[in-house]
Chains A and B, each alone.
Chain A
């Protein structure tokens, strides 16, 4: 089978990560998310938490300086490590799913790339977060708001096209309409069709 890569962006609470995990199992391809950093931590013999604390975060404006192209931002460094990692995997010809990490921008131009963004209705997302993390509705909405704000800032600091902008994705889907499983089925059939057409 020819190489295919799924770059899946998601709103917090939309179930995007769960959908990506199911797709990975169904399509038999690895999923890369924060686990990329575990490999780097193991290689360097350091605690992976040292890397995870800067994962999917934007640089601190006003507290970052650039000298001769070198940035002082640890957030930028961790982002770059992940970009290099997925580019390396793509170069090696591996098929995989990348969740977040500006995948749709970093891998832009690869022939087998399918870019997806999963969003959801506020109420449905809040209900899902309440259920998963045993939070009150208010806490869930706050958590959702904070995470999305960080993801947006992170994405937009590394990409010219804004986070969630339909022009950046092949498929933008609201998981609240069909639920997680049916949305996964829908995306899977879409991806399989893309793969088939790509091979023709």
Chain B
């Protein structure tokens, strides 16, 4: 009992500290991870095997970690090293692309193709945001899109806030479409053994339908707030240089990016795991970067990777002590075994929780719960996995603190003198979140029942 109580106290404390945002989040999860090892595994369970299982370092040295012929999946218990290694690889690749000015070039090129018309840019950047976020982390997507939007707004005299808000939303939506789009999806995919294509044809299809609804919704609600007719600037007077600075560097980063996409799309066929793809992509990027390699490595977001490690240990504590099983039983009980109610609970609870707390720890906690639910109630695990992915990815859009892309977009705008408060944010994006959740729920009901 002591172990269970300690696991819950540490988990709740970790969440509270993350929400309070007083300390760097990686210190919070790592500190709580150490507490879990000491109080849950050693003092509570007297189980040293559980520590090894949770740290899961041994997994890295097994062939199936790097090459999986079938539907092999990472051990769901403990640290999901595949996620961490894959994220590291993608971070290195994205830094290489940023160094080559890939994103600046792409954004400015599209603005030019759109004839520097603010409304066309508004719509085009929504689509661009969703497409890029399918393959690249949404923080990077928004970091560049928001900066370019502000640059264009000053030149073309339009209000960048509606554009940035719509870009944030579409980045989160695009991220839900693929296995590598949003960290919860990577965790779900690697833990439950789903492929890139599995995500694309399930959450991807839902995201595609939702994107159409969202573009129409944002066009109706926000397009009139972008520019007053009297501020219209003649596009002919705009002169922006969209030339590529270093063609070799640019070509290399583009080829690596396309290669990564191909590897991800085909990984179910090739048997290469996401960890292998991560290592490959990072290695090629660093080789291509040459002397700039240390610079790229320095820029990698190690804080997030450490945050993941600590988080997995804390969730491992909950799992080892059987607390998550109790939660799963509770969900099964209140839904009365009705699959549709269960799906609705998972979708809306995931979305509401993700709107206020980091969706990564929430998703990591929910995975063992849905596994347990699938085993005890017979509701297909796949359906619950897609529901969990959509709920956590989309729910995060509802508030300024729900997802990393929101924070970065708001910060980029705020630093340039366009502050976005809770009121302004939620007024525009909370209804859109509800629309997408309803569309997704209907899609799930129609497709899987």
Contacts and interface: CB of A to CB of B under 8 A. Distances in A.
Interface in A16-56: 40-41, 43-46, 50-51, 53-54
Interface in A32-90: 40-41, 43-46, 50-51, 53-54, 60-68, 70-74, 76-78, 80-81
Given A43-B417, A61-B20, A74-B414, A68 B401 contact: no
30 contacts: A44-B418, A45-B231, A50-B419, A51-B419, A53-B421, A54-B419, A61-B21, A62-B19, A63-B401, A63-B422, A65-B400, A65-B407, A66-B21, A67-B139, A67-B408, A67-B411, A68-B139, A68-B301, A68-B408, A70-B407, A70-B408, A71-B407, A72-B400, A72-B401, A72-B410, A74-B410, A77-B411, A77-B414, A77-B415, A80-B414
A81 B421 contact: no
Contacts of B408: 67-68, 70
A45 B20 contact: no
Nearest to A80: B415
Contact of A67 (B404, B416, B418, B422): B404
B210 interface: no
Contacts of A46: 159, 417-418
A63 B411 CA distance: 14
A73 B231 CA distance: 29
A70 B412 contact: yes
A69 to B, nearest CB: 9
B157 A64 contact: no
B22 to A, nearest CB: 8
A44 B416 contact: yes
Nearest to B421: A74
Contacts of B301: 68
Central interface residue in B21, B231, B415, by most chain A CB within 10 Å: B21
Contacts of B304: 68
Contacts of A45: 157, 159, 231
A154 to B, nearest CB: 15
Interface residues of B, number: 33
B303 interface: yes
Nearest to A77: B414
Contacts of B354: none
Interface in B375-421: 400-401, 404, 406-408, 410-421
A70 B400 CA distance: 12
A72 B157 contact: no
Nearest to B419: A74
Residue with the highest number of chain B CB atoms closer than 10 Å, among A62, A68, A71, A74 = A74
Q: Is the interface of B mostly helix, strand, loop or mixed?
A: helix
A160 B438 CA distance: 47
Interface of B: 19-22, 25, 139, 154, 157, 159, 231, 301, 303-304, 358, 400-401, 404, 406-408, 410-422
A61 B414 CA distance: 18
Contacts of A50: 418-419
A68 B400 contact: no
Interface residues of A, number: 29
B10 to A, nearest CB: 20
B415 A65 contact: no
Nearest to A81: B417
A60 B422 contact: yes
Contacts of A76: 414
B401 A65 contact: yes
B359 to A, nearest CB: 12
B420 A81 contact: no
Contacts of A44: 154, 416-418
B417 A41 contact: yes
Closest 6 CB pairs of A and B: A77-B414, A70-B411, A74-B419, A65-B401, A72-B407, A67-B407
A40 B407 contact: no
A74 B21 contact: no
Nearest to B414: A77
B298 to A, nearest CB: 14
A60 B21 CA distance: 10
A28 B412 CA distance: 37
A57 to B, nearest CB: 10
A45 B226 CA distance: 12
A192 to B, nearest CB: 36
A64 B419 CA distance: 14
A68 B411 CA distance: 11
A34 to B, nearest CB: 14
Nearest to B422: A63
Contacts of A66: 21, 25, 407
A61 to B, nearest CB: 6
Contacts of A74: 410, 414, 419-421
Contacts of B21: 61-62, 64-66
A59 to B, nearest CB: 9
Contacts of B412: 70
Interface string A89-123: 00000000000000000000000000000000000
B404 to A, nearest CB: 4
A63 B399 CA distance: 9
Nearest to B420: A74
A83 to B, nearest CB: 11
Contacts of A43: 417
A50 to B, nearest CB: 7
B417 A72 contact: no
- Centre residue among B406, B407, B413 by max chain A CB count within 10 A: B407
B139 A77 contact: no
